[in-house]
Structure 1
Amino acid sequence: MAQVVVEETRRRMQKSCTALERELGQIRAGRANASILNGINVEYYGSEVPINQVASISIPEARVILVTPFDKSALKDIEKALMASDIGINPANDGSVIRLVIPQLTGERRQELVKEVGKISEGAKVAVRNIRRESMDDVKKQQKNHEITDDELHDLEKQIQTVTDQSIKEIERITDDKSKELVAV
């Protein structure tokens, strides 16, 4: 029962790292990244569907995203959805495909994005620390209810701290990778 707390802690912390990667993937780095189109829905035959279900998305060049609709009649709807989205890139429609050219970032904008990445990263670290606190409270409760011994409590606290340290290192690695990507572009 007590070991379950450590596994649950590891699973929840891994979810925090995954959420951080997903959130940082949304930040444009001046380089084409198909993940900036995640969350854009297109009205297709009366229903809202994700853009990747009505078109293939490819990266033919470093700063170009190519959106090729499976059904050419959806081209205008896809273009309209891209214009209405908050990605800040005007789509170029040539009648069969839509090109999104990612603008080059200024040095000032790069620094702003690096700061934003830091804030998002700090939020992920706080989430991991909250998970650690909850897990520590759980094992202390188990010890108080005489479900585990003092030695088991001490051992579980060490394991939870080890998982926390690993998760913080992973968050820092993800953050460093994204910051380097932003500065190196």
Structure 2
Amino acid sequence: MNDVYEDARDRMQKALESLERDYKRLRTGRASVALVDGIRVEYYGTSTPLNQLATLTIPEPRTIMIQPWDTTIVGEVEKAILKSELGLTPMNDGKIIRINVPPLTEERRRDLVKIIKKMAEEAKVAVRNIRRDANEMIKDLKKEKEISEDDQFRAQDEIQKITDTFIGNIDAAYNNKETEVLEI
């Protein structure tokens, strides 16, 4: 049964980490290198992640600076940023690309809160599906008479406690991100 608990904990932790990664990619009013993490640049015929081609820094709270190691790909990096769905406009001086992250409008903030809530709900659904799978494993152990009925109920209670902990963590992550987005 400990294996079932560990498996459930590991999978729920991955769901939480995935949510936090998605939250980092969301554009709030503040600059973050995580905003450009998903951008891939065509480099010698290969789609390469931007962070493997350039130094990414945040010189000011609303500016991302990208300094490609190979200055011949500045144009490609710029195209990749424009093609991305970030809605950011890069400016380049031939060697360095700067991206100014504009402050969010009130309407955009409300839209972002809806997106953040939807992501949190999807993470909760994933955690609940993991709970269901763990409970199925416990029922199978009971059917095969490897555990008693009392052990089955105790195990299901433990799985529920683990689930409640992770749901609480997801709610906390949501509340933190919501506060960050609504902060002016």
Matched, 1:74 2:73: yes
Residue number in structure 2 paired with 1:136: 135
- Secondary structure at the aligned position of 1:67 is classed as strand
Cα offset for 1:85? Answer: 1.4
Residue number in structure 1 paired with 2:36: 37
Provide the aligned length of Structure 1 versus Structure 2. 184
**RMSD value, Cα:** 1.0
The answer as to whether partners of 1:3 and 1:156 remain within 8 angstroms in 2 is: no
Uncovered stretches (5+) of structure 1, i.e. residues with no partner: none
Cα distance between partner residues in 1 of 2:13 and 2:93? 42
Aligned to 2:90: 91
- Between the aligned partners of 2:101 and 2:37, the Cα distance in structure 1 is 16
Give the counterpart letter for 1:48 in structure 2.
Answer: S
Q: TM-score, normalised by structure 1?
A: 0.96
Equivalent residue for 1:182? 181
- The match for 1:5 is 4
- Name the counterpart of 1:51: 50
TM-score with structure 2 setting the length: 0.96
Distance 1:49 1:115 in 2: 31
What's the secondary structure of 2:162's corresponding residue? helix
> What is the rounded CA distance, in whole Å, between the counterparts of 1:170 and 1:32 in structure 2?
25
CA distance in 1, matches of 2:71, 2:129: 49
Q: Which runs of 5+ in 2 are unaligned?
A: none
Correspondence 1:137-152 to 2 at 5 A: 137-152=136-151
Q: Which runs of 4+ in 1 moved over 3 A?
A: none
Q: Describe the SS at the equivalent of 1:103.
A: coil
Alignment partner, residue 22 of structure 1: 21
